[in-house]
């Protein structure tokens, strides 16, 4: 869920769907965080590094620019949004 109806609507636009698909294809549809760890995991989300807000919603340099995007798997995307205090490595070991 996003912070406003306008932002929710943005994610249904043709421009976003095309940008998202193009970006995913450009990174091989793999999670960029996992890839840095040497893991090959399919990406489920395209995350905005600088978050979309009502104030920057109409700025394509924020909303549609590939330099502000990263492909993430469900776990990495959830971790970014919940800011966990613990991490789980590829073997399932938990660390603080």
24-36: buried (b, 16+ CB within 10 Å) or exposed (e) per residue? Answer: beebeebbbbbbe
Give pTM, 2 decimals.
0.79
Average pLDDT over residues 47-68: 95
48-73: buried (b, 16+ CB within 10 Å) or exposed (e) per residue? Answer: eeeebeeeeeeeeebbbeeebbbbbb
Average pLDDT over residues 21-43: 97
Average pLDDT over residues 17-37: 97
Number of Cα atoms under 13 Å in the Cβ half of residue 39: 15
Residue 96 has pLDDT above 60, yes or no: no
DSSP code for 13:
S
Q: According to the model, what pLDDT value does residue 83 have? A: 66
Residue 62 has pLDDT above 60, yes or no: yes
């Amino acid at each position: 869920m996003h912070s406003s109806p306008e932002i929710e609507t943005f994610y249904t636009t043709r421009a976003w769907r095309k940008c998202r698909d193009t970006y995913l294809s450009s990174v091989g549809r793999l999670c960029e965080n996992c890839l840095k760890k040497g893991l090959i995991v399919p990406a489920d989300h395209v995350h905005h590094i600088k978050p979309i807000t009502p104030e920057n919603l109409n700025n394509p340099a924020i909303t549609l620019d590939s330099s502000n995007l990263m492909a993430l798997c469900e776990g990495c995307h959830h971790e970014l949004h919940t800011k966990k205090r613990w991490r789980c490595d590829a073997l399932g070991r938990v660390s603080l």
